[in-house]
């Protein structure tokens, strides 16, 4: 059994499907998706269709992100949708109704709303790791975290958690295209919708598979990214985006 964690997808359905074809999560694997499935990228609808299909084939643990929260708030008319449209909502609506410029909530399937509102998680925790969308207050258990910490606080403010467990999160786009690695925390948002990559981490093996929107694939590991090279090291540089 593997534990796999995928960073922020942001409507990049082609990269997601390519990544899944490579890692092939099975029924014994736990697949943690770290939120921000919608907005900014071209195919939020396709991303949600794919995630819902994964519930039948693997142990999916889908964490909700701040962009899903905004989507649901706009859908339920609890916020002014114009603000959401300016942070990627426009691309989300267009993925449901191509060519239609006006808001048409009836095109969003009930199955998508149910998935986001009923089956997405605030967090997931295993014996060694805390999986959250954005961050976690170092002094509180996950059950006692505020929405501000779980969904909005940037990785810049991450600190070792009192549990001793490692935090694995997304939310803060790493425009280097590489995971941000600390001894006590890892950020897997590697700017998939921009010029970066969509990242999947095999948590126990501490390895990464990355795919970009052009279809390129690269593999690396925590060891390769953190160990200083020795005189005998031959290190092939990762391709630039």
Separation CA 157–CA 16 (nearest Å): 28
pLDDT reading at 232 higher than 80: no
Domain-located, residue 24 = yes
Q: Are the C-beta atoms of residues 217 and 22 closer than 8 Å to each other? A: yes
> What secondary structure letter does DSSP report for 107?
G
Angle between helices 44-54 and 13-23 (to 10 degrees): 30
pLDDT of the residue at 113:
97
**CATH (domain of 95):** 3.60.21.10
Q: To which residue do tokens 């991303």 refer? A: 47
pLDDT in tens, 133-187: 999 999 999 999 999 999 999 999 999 999 999 999 999 999 999 999 999 999 9
Domain assignment of residue 90, given as a range:
3-226
d(CA 226, CA 99) in angstroms, rounded, equals 46
Q: Please indicate, yes or no, if residue 95 is contained in any of the structural domains.
A: yes
Query: Residue 238 domain-assigned?
Result: no
Closest to 128 measured CA to CA, from 189, 184, 63, 61: 184
Is 241 inside a domain boundary?
A: no
CA 159, distance to chain mean position in Å, is 20
Residue 191 has pLDDT above 50, yes or no: yes
- Answer yes or no: are the C-beta atoms of 180 and 187 closer than 8 Å: yes
pLDDT value at residue 234: 47
In a domain, 151, yes or no: yes
- Specify if 236 maps to a domain: no
Residues 98-142 pLDDT 10s: 876 666 778 899 999 999 999 999 999 999 999 999 999 999 999
Structurally, how many domains does the chain consist of?
1
Name the residue among 117, 150, 132, 127 with its Cα closest to residue 63.
Answer: 132
Choose among 117, 127, 172, 125: nearest CA to 144: 125
> Which of 187, 181, 189 minimizes the C-alpha distance to 168?
187
Can you give the pTM of this predicted structure? 0.94
Asked whether residue 237 is assigned to any structural domain, the reply reads no
Tokens encoding 124: 């997931």
Does some domain include residue 27?
A: yes
Nearest to 70 by CA among 58, 56, 83: 83
Tokens of 34: 């770290």
> For residues 29 and 1, is the Cβ–Cβ distance under 8 A?
yes
């Amino acid at each position: 059994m593997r534990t796999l964690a995928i960073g922020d997808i942001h409507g990049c359905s082609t990269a997601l499907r390519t990544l899944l074809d490579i890692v092939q999560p099975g029924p014994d694997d736990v697949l943690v998706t770290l939120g921000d499935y919608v907005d900014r990228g071209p195919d939020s609808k396709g991303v949600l269709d794919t995630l819902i299909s994964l519930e039948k084939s693997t142990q999916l643990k889908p964490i909700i992100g701040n962009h899903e929260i905004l989507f649901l708030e706009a859908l339920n008319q609890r916020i002014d949708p114009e603000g959401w449209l300016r942070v990627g909502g426009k691309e989300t609506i267009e993925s449901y109704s191509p060519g239609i410029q006006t808001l048409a909530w009836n095109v969003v399937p009930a199955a998508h709303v149910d998935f986001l509102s009923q089956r997405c998680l605030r967090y997931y925790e295993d014996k060694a790791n805390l999986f959250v969308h954005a961050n976690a207050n170092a002094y509180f258990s996950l059950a006692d975290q505020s929405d501000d910490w779980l969904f909005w606080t940037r990785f810049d403010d991450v600190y070792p958690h009192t549990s001793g467990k490692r935090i694995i999160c997304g939310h803060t786009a790493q425009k280097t295209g590489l995971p941000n690695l600390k001894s006590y925390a890892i950020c897997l948002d590697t700017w998939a919708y921009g010029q970066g990559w969509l990242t999947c981490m095999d948590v126990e093996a501490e390895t990464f598979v990355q795919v970009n929107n052009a279809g390129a694939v690269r593999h690396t590991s925590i060891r390769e990214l953190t160990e200083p090279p020795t005189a005998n090291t031959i290190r092939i540089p990762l391709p630039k985006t």
